[in-house]
Amino acid sequence: MKRVIPAFICSLAICAAIACAVVVFMRFSGLIDNILSPGKSSVNNRESKITVVIDPGHGGTDGGAVGVSGILEKDLNLEVGTLLAGELTRRGFDVIMTRTDDVMLDNGSSSSAKVSDLSARLEIVRSCENPVFVSIHMNKFPDSSVNGFTVYYSSNNPDSELLAAAVRQSVTDSVQPENKRPMKAAGNSIFLLSRLTSPAVLLECGFLSNQREEALLSDPEYREKLVCAISDGIENFINRGSSGSKV
């Protein structure tokens, strides 16, 4: 009996050590996280397959819209796009940007500079295996009272409308509860959305022709709040899954 008890205690110690090792392994391999957070696991399983392509519109000699106080759309697009790329990366997504500097792109074709720029952006998206495309722009309108975030979506993939709805919902919930602007299907006039077959949206983040909205978009704190809401929408879309095989 004297020998049985130490042997029993010894066996218990070995079992406990093995159990600890298994728990440590599961913790570091993410298995426990996935078991405890099944919703999150779907993101983790998917994120390696998805590349979120952030496209800050315009750049270089193409300044885009000019705000009432003279601010250039291309600069705000790059600010918002860079923030968005950083936030999505922090959340664990694979992200690339079509531009990270104040430049127009060039795909080497003999087309006009604008077509060459847009074609180069198109090629970047198409080079990704499983892209989710988010183009960042600022709006302008002759009536300076018009304001508000607006989402355009590509008609080439039903997931684009789901992505647009998720982003619009998140932005109206968190940033612009008074925004009644409906999301819109992009026509052929939007070069990239009319050509891409992956989930693709273009976000008009606000009207630079509206003094109040231009001031908001020039405020780093507001931009961070907006980017957080856009990121929530993109993450909700990816979590929700899709009806097609693209995501």
- Separation CA 195–CA 243 (nearest Å): 20
DSSP-assigned letter for residue 202: E
Q: Which of residues 129-148 bind Zn ion (CB under 5 A)?
A: 137
CB of 196 to Zn ion, least distance (A): 17
CB of 62 to Zn ion, least distance (A): 9
57 near Zn ion, rule: CB under 5 A: yes
CB of 188 to Zn ion, least distance (A): 17
CB of 65 to Zn ion, least distance (A): 6
Positive/negative CA dihedral, 65, 66, 72, 76: negative
- Separation CA 119–CA 107 (nearest Å): 6
* Secondary structure (3-state) at 200: strand
Q: Judging by DSSP bridges, how do beta strands 131-139 and 51-56 pair with one another?
A: parallel
Selected range binding Zn ion among 8-16, 50-58, 189-197, 227-235, rule: CB under 5 A: 50-58
The interface mask with Zn ion, positions 151-190, x = CB under 5 A, is ----------------------------------------
Nearest CA among 164, 165, 155 for reference residue 201: 164
Tell me whether residue 50 or residue 80 sits nearer to Zn ion (CB atom): 80
67 near Zn ion, rule: CB under 5 A: no
- Separation CA 237–CA 200 (nearest Å): 12
Q: Which residues bind Zn ion (CB under 5 A)?
A: 57, 64, 137
